[in-house]
Structure 1
Amino acid sequence: MKHYAGLDVSLEETAICIVDENGRIVKELRALSEPPALIAAFDGIGLQLERIGLEACSLTAWLHDGLREAGLPAICIETRQANAAMKTMPNKTDRNDARALAQIMRTGWFRQVHVKSRQCRLWRSALVARRTVLNEMRSIENVVRAILREGGIKLGTPSRAVSVAKVREMAASDPLMTAIAEPLLAVLATMLEEFARLTKQVLDIVKGEPVCRKLMSVPGVGPITALAFRATIDRPDRFDKSRSVGAHLGLTPSRYQSGETDIQGRVSRCGDELARTALYEAAHSLLTRSKKWSSLKAWGMGIAKRRGMARARVAVARKLAVILHRMWSDGEEFRFGKEAFAKASSAAA
């Protein structure tokens, strides 16, 4: 008889439920949320399991890798589907959640989530750390600007490299204002140093990663966007079609259809927010800063004239996701288009 297991993972302990192929509960237990403890728990049961389901969470990748290395059939499942099944339980408890996950494994009503490699997870962590420091720096800068405006001082738009020194110079005539702003400036100066260190780490990663260097040949795509896309996709072969990448990253319109009602909404934003934001910024750079002609830019500018720049950025971001995946899969360089080739040929002649 086949058996299936569901794991409701929390920070300290994991609730485990095992059911047979008829849905009958065979065993329920708890174990520490660590791979050795879970492996020992399954070894002690002595049953051959067909599937072990874990809901996607912060510990899932670590536990999934540990269980897989031990030869156990661990599967990470999509959170929204898991939540839909858990809501059928009258009471929200770890035990009931484990039971629901076990039944999902038995019925096969789930969407398996790709667990990225450890290297890609570390790359993404570096990008998240850099972005977090950048966001906090912006918050502190806004507070400093507000403090200066109380005294009628307008900071303007100095570069971050000189902003701390300029604020100290402008506020030097007001001791009370200086006393308030100085702690924030000290924190900001330290954050600037650490932000530069994190940025260097990202650039060093990109230098040693050939896929990122290839992706950077696309206009508008810099090291941050290339690494974010590389870390998010992990393996290009998990997508049968390149155009599926746009939907995976939440860059395709959402849709609601019921009877005669058929509404197409804004982009779904259901994918990885880090990669989606990076692609959107790359699209903005391509449309507004890139001086080299390409058919992609011409296509995007055509959309901007008809429907506005905001929609054009989203459309180009989606197109960039498709192009980057196809370049990665085929190993080809970016194609600027026929007009660019004609211009280059005439210039050479």
Structure 2
Amino acid sequence: MDHATLVGIDLGKHSFHLHGQDQNGKAVFRKKLGRKQLVEFFATHAACTVVMEACAGSHHMARKLATFGHEVKLISPQFVRPFVKSNKNDFVDAEAICEAASRPAMRFVTPKTESQQTLSILHRVRESMVRDRTRTINQMHGFLLEFGVSLPVGRTGIVRLPELLTLHALPPRLIAVLERLHEHFKYLQEQIGEIDCELARQLADDDTGQRLMSIPGIGPITASVLAAEMGDGKQYGCGRDFAASVGLVPRQYSTGGRSNLLGISRRGDKHLRYLLVLCARAYMQRLEKQTGRLAEWVRTMLTRRHSNVVACALANKLARTAWAIVARHTTFNAEFSGLTR
């Protein structure tokens, strides 16, 4: 019964729904298994192709099943949705995963290693803390402004908050709240600093990250994120594919032979896209000090287009350059804005 060559798994937290097909695409079994049962099932099953949606827990499960000799593939959920037949349930989802995986032109997601996942989690924790720090700063600014106290913009005034509180007659309860927020701000500042130091240590031992930092405008944080997300870069056919996966290429709505390009698609990892745009803006702010073909290209673009458009175009170029450096094991040549081996 279980001569399946292709198995689709609809992942869950505690239960997993399996749909198995033979080489002719005929369904041979449907199973609902727990996490432990799933591992035991594939440990004794003949080697086959296992397909899952790229979602929470999929990368760990892919690594686990690959140790049993199975070929594991991950598909983006947006590519599975069109294959769901009418009413939706877990077994139908597993069948749709098999249908999507059987398409010859289907694109798959490369499973991440443990180190890549850990580094990605570290960046997400840092991003969350940065947002919390900004929220705390804004709260302190707002509470003080309610009582007529205006501080300098940013973290400058917040760092000296205990000194400033002694200069104004404020209610004791408000001072207690502000001191509590200030302690929280200092805690977040310390934690973010520790994470930055840890990322810097990891990046110092990573050859890929060091080569990515040779790109103008890209710093340690962005280089670390790129190294974690791209891996070896082999899952992308070219630099444009990587830029498209980040959402930095125009959306296309063409018909009847007439090409119509819209704004950037904004697909993929929004945090990575945000960092690349920030890198582009940082490069543009120091444009008068930049030399080479890339700087000339940016100056020419600024004479024709708005700076926001140029920033997105430059972020697109940085993403393509980053892919080329990772996939071809090269470094950035600032003089010629090219790649050297």
TM-score using structure 1 length: 0.86
What is the aligned partner in structure 1 of residue 318 from structure 2? 320
Answer yes or no: is 1:280 the counterpart of 2:277.
yes
What is the aligned partner in structure 1 of residue 42 from structure 2? 42
Answer yes or no: is 1:235 the counterpart of 2:232.
yes
- 1:1-349 mapped onto 2 (5 Å cutoff): 3-33=5-35, 37-42=37-42, 48=46, 50-86=48-84, 88-90=85-87, 92-106=88-102, 110-157=106-153, 159=155, 163-164=158-159, 166-172=160-166, 173-174=169-170, 175-259=172-256, 262-289=259-286, 291-337=289-335
Deviation, structure 1 residue 251: 1.0
Equivalent-residue separation in structure 2 for 1:140 and 1:296 (angstroms): 39
Equivalent-residue separation in structure 2 for 1:239 and 1:109 (angstroms): 14
Paired residues of 2:42 and 2:68 also in contact (CA < 8 A)? no
Cα separation, partners in 2 of 1:204 and 1:102, compared to 1, 3 Å: same
Equivalent-residue separation in structure 1 for 2:218 and 2:103 (angstroms): 43
Q: How big is each residue's C-alpha offset from its partner over 1:85-118, in whole Å with a ceiling of 9 and x where there is no partner?
A: 22x232x222221232233345557321111222
Amino acid aligned to 2:140: V
Amino acid aligned to 1:272: D
Cα separation, partners in 2 of 1:286 and 1:188, compared to 1, 3 Å: same
Q: How big is each residue's C-alpha offset from its partner over 1:184-231, in whole Å with a ceiling of 9 and x where there is no partner?
A: 222111111111111111111111112212221222111111111111
Q: How big is each residue's C-alpha offset from its partner over 1:144-189, in whole Å with a ceiling of 9 and x where there is no partner?
A: 11101101111113546x624x223333431232133222222111
TM-score using structure 2 length: 0.88
Paired residues of 1:250 and 1:276 also in contact (CA < 8 A)? yes
Percent of residue pairs identical: 22
Cα separation, partners in 2 of 1:237 and 1:99, compared to 1, 3 Å: closer
Could you tell me which runs of 5 or more consecutive residues in structure 1 were left unpaired when the two chains were aligned.
Answer: 340-349
Amino acid aligned to 1:67: L
Cα separation, partners in 2 of 1:147 and 1:37, compared to 1, 3 Å: same
Paired residues of 2:4 and 2:28 also in contact (CA < 8 A)? no
User: Which of structure 1's runs of 4+ aligned residues deviate more than 6 A?
Assistant: none
For 1:238, what is the secondary structure of its paired residue? Answer: coil
For 2:333, what is the secondary structure of its paired residue? Answer: coil
Cα separation, partners in 2 of 1:49 and 1:98, compared to 1, 3 Å: farther
Equivalent-residue separation in structure 1 for 2:18 and 2:216 (angstroms): 50
Equivalent-residue separation in structure 1 for 2:43 and 2:229 (angstroms): 34
Cα separation, partners in 2 of 1:26 and 1:338, compared to 1, 3 Å: closer
Cα separation, partners in 2 of 1:211 and 1:106, compared to 1, 3 Å: closer
Equivalent-residue separation in structure 2 for 1:68 and 1:16 (angstroms): 17
Paired residues of 1:15 and 1:31 also in contact (CA < 8 A)? yes
Equivalent-residue separation in structure 2 for 1:42 and 1:152 (angstroms): 67
For 2:197, what is the secondary structure of its paired residue? Answer: helix
Equivalent-residue separation in structure 2 for 1:256 and 1:219 (angstroms): 33
Cα separation, partners in 2 of 1:214 and 1:43, compared to 1, 3 Å: closer
Q: How big is each residue's C-alpha offset from its partner over 1:62-85, in whole Å with a ceiling of 9 and x where there is no partner?
A: 000000111122211121111222
Amino acid aligned to 1:171: L
Paired residues of 1:327 and 1:333 also in contact (CA < 8 A)? yes
> CA RMSD for the aligned pairs?
2.4
